[in-house]
Amino acid sequence: MQRQKTSPAFSEYVGGRHELGQNFLADPALITAIQRLVRTQTQGPIIELGAGDGALTAPLARLGRPVTALELDPRRVRRLQTRFGDAVDVGDAVAVDVVRADVLRYRFPATPHTIVGNVPFHLTTAIIRKLLSERGWTASVLIVQWEVARRRAGVGGASMLTAAWWPWYEFELVRRIPAAAFRPVPSVDAGLLTMRRRRVPLVEERGGYQAFVKQVFQAPGRGLEEMVGRTGRVRRAELRAWARREGIPARALPKDLAAEDWARLWELARR
């Protein structure tokens, strides 16, 4: 297959390694939009996941905030260190700390920071799970597979993972990203997803709440009343009265509830 031409702003090593799930950004307008989003809606030091050839790294460095770029591929780590170690070719940008690291094993700092990354599609859920369990970061801007982005943001129905973490995080689907924005071109589109840690959680007890969410999602039944009833945590008469007060349809499913609905349902279940 003929190699597609790209902007001179990018490295000559445009294509990612298939075994690492690398699909690198090759749309300057999109990169600019992500830089603007990070600048206007996040604060503090930045940790970039999977820096690749530095398409996002350079714009992030120009924000004047400390940047740590994580990359697993040793060849690209060396190129990134040469390019960004002293920030010579990125104008007034700050120097970037380039670290060879597996994101799933990396020890993120406990101090406040922002996460930015173009996440390998096959590792999207695993990386999101790891991030949600971390304590330090306050906001993340992630490029993930389109369907995952939709489900994390609760578009068309929330997944069990989203419902389990909603009391502590806000999820937003910013936009759809066409597959043509990447090199090599993946088989599916991507989505730009933001996750923000809530200043005041909707629920205090994490373990009990998350176990309850799992019970409800995995319970057999044709609707929320039947499924929650099978957990034995709420009497059906109480559940019906609660659903009427909250305006929740009788045939609603767990995926149809919003973050606030889950928090109030948990309050009912824990009495």
Question: Hey, what domains does the chain have and what are their CATH numbers?
Answer: 18-197 (3.40.50.150), 206-269 (1.10.8.100)
Decide if 8 contacts 35 (C-beta within 8 A): no
Mean pLDDT of 3-7: 33
58-85 tens-digit pLDDT: 999 999 999 999 999 999 999 999 998 7
222-269 tens-digit pLDDT: 999 999 999 999 999 999 999 999 999 988 999 999 999 999 999 999
Place of tokens 């993946």: 186
Decide if 114 contacts 38 (C-beta within 8 A): yes
